[in-house]
Amino acid sequence: MEGTSSGLRAIQEASSLDLEVLKLPKGFLKIVEAILAFIAFVVLASFDTELKFRKTCGDKDVSRAVKFGYPFEFSDPVSLPLCENYNTTQNGANFGHDNVSSSPRFFVFTGVLSLLYAMLALGCYCFVANILQAKQQLGCKLDMVGNAVLTVLWFAASCALWKADSDIQYYTQPKMLFTNIAECADAACSVTDEPNYAEITLAICFGFISVIAWGGNVYFLLKDTPWFDQVTARLGGGTKYSESRQPGRVPGMQNVQTPEYNPSM
């Protein structure tokens, strides 16, 4: 029973909450990464806007609105005809393009994945760092590789969404809708309220800021791995990073001898 109780006590001590790591760059940046990822994918996933237009039918104006948003599948058509006495076989019309949902979905996927990864990493930093101390080098390597992969994903997702933003604004122009509505031929329809794309632009900005945050954290995580020692050794950096972190040791001073005092001098 004594062995069991001592083992449980060791686990409790090892898994105690340690917030000191949050003062380090890798811990602080993990919090920043999680916040940026949350804002980026929530802003895009909640995007919703509409294009409003009207047509004069005799002595009255008929208004219609086309709503669209994430994931930009353009599946909400305008009900037709606009005028009750207009003879047409159309019962609905849209922008004439299927969807541009692949890039926005990829962006949101990257944001959700990054948030989950950042939360998992913070949990490991704060609760089980001591348990994993024996395998610290492996954990640092995996963390650095994970950050590097997510940096690439954020860059690719942000560039893809940037391109998709141009496509969305092009395909949702009023003229793209009016060309598919026979009643709007010859400028018979007029726009009363244009779509607002500011949230997409904001999501793109947070995406590229995330690239900087995740990419910057790769450097600090690299310094905790043996790979950093190998790189500095090849570049002639002198003392290894791990040696410079040992208590009581001044980097580059381990071989310096203090001259003895000679009274005769």
- pLDDT tens, residue by residue, 221-246: 888 776 666 667 667 644 444 444 44
Distance between CA 220 and CA 224 in Å, rounded?
7
Distance between CA 100 and CA 161 in Å, rounded?
10
Task: For residues 186-213, give the mean pLDDT.
Answer: 92
Scored b (16 or more CB within 10 A) or e, 99-119 reads bbeebbbbbbebbbbbbebbb
Distance between CA 182 and CA 54 in Å, rounded?
14
pLDDT in the model for residue 262: 55
> For 201, how many CA atoms within 13 A lie in the half-sphere containing its CB?
5
pLDDT-based confidence at residue 7 (cuts at 50, 70, 90): very low
| C-alpha distance across the termini of the chain, in Å | 68
pLDDT-based confidence at residue 139 (cuts at 50, 70, 90): confident
Q: Are 118 and 33 in contact (CB under 8 A)?
A: yes
